[in-house]
Structure 1
Amino acid sequence: MTSIQVADEIFVAAAQSLAGGVIGDRARWRQWWPDLRLTVVEDRENQGVRWTVTGPIEGTMEIWCEECMDGFILHYYLHAEPVAPLPDDPRTRMDEVAEMNRLRRIAGKDMSFEAKWLLEGEREAGSPATGAVNG
């Protein structure tokens, strides 16, 4: 099991066909994760991206956009280990790992809420998803 485990999801009321424009924008990656170096393993366009991650942590990260109703669920996963040695004291080590997880969870939430905001635009609650095809 890796030390840093983040899994999160959020519903985005926008057509999945719009997701790649935000999720695939490499300039945003640097804003969302400024301390990480990301190497694309698989670019799935509107379905998301998989990366290897290096920097203060090393591991894998993924955004998966799963079509759902008239929008999609943005899933976010991070599995990584810290690069710097952890303290020998078990309690201190546990506290440091917990803080690393907390900070990575916040970064993931910030990313997902920004993606949601960018993709939904000025959509009002209860109105059709942005870019959805009305049958």
Structure 2
Amino acid sequence: MSTPNSAPPAIDIVDETFLAVPPATVAAAFADPAAWRRYWPDLRLEVYTDRGDKGLRWTVRGALVGTMEVWLEPVLDGTLLHYFLRATPATPPRRPRDLRREFDHRARAAKAISLELKEILEDGREPGIPPRPQPA
């Protein structure tokens, strides 16, 4: 996980999760900065590209320094949620295993966020099955 020229080691996480809801529904879950603080409490995020229903790109500060992106790709009757985190710990790890632990922690957290959104936003809907009508 180290890079050439004695550069600090980096964390590079890519995750994908299918949600059986439209991209606009997923985008709304990420629109509020209060959600960012809940999902990533030790990071300070600043939007550098707002792509609307296609997602967001942030600069990352705090425990990590780098960039993060949520890309929302329309697929069939839902959305493929792509998550990218490319960052370096603000405090260099003392041992290689510390970096590995940080990587594992961030990868598991990314998947937990995606699965939580899947459960909440799909509300039991299965792919290929139309959403339940909402009461009037």
TM-score when normalising by structure 2: 0.84
2:121 corresponds to: 119
Report what 1:4 is aligned to: 11
**Counterparts in 2 of 1:25-64, with a 5 A limit?**
25-64=32-71
Task: Name the counterpart of 1:90.
Answer: none
Match of 2:130 in 1: 128
Which runs of structure 2 are paired with 1:85-124 in the superposition (5 Å)?
85-87=92-94, 93-124=95-126
CA contact (8 A) 2:13 2:107 kept: yes
- Find the partner of 1:83 among 90, 93, 97: 90
**Aligned counterparts of 1:104 and 1:8: Cα–Cα separation in 2:** 11
Give the gaps of 5 or more residues in structure 1. 88-92
Residue type matched to 1:40 in 2?
A: V
* Residue correspondences, number: 126
CA–CA distance in structure 1, aligned partners of residues 39 and 119 of structure 2: 14
Shift of 1:118: 2.5
Q: Sequence identity of aligned pairs in percent? A: 41
Query: Any gaps of 5 or more consecutive residues in structure 2?
Result: 4-8
Which of the pair has the greater relative contact order for Cα pairs under 8 Å at 6+ separation?
Answer: 1
Q: Relative to 1, partners in 2 of residues 1:85 and 1:124: Cα closer, same or farther, differing over 3 Å?
A: closer
Q: Secondary structure at the match of 1:21?
A: helix
State the secondary structure of the residue aligned to 1:37: strand
Q: What's 1:19 paired with?
A: 26
The aligned amino acid for 1:96 is D
Q: Deviations over 1:86-112 (max 9, x none)?
A: 32xxxxx21011000001011101111
Q: Secondary structure at the match of 2:82?
A: strand
Quick one: distance in 2 between partners of 1:100 and 1:29?
19
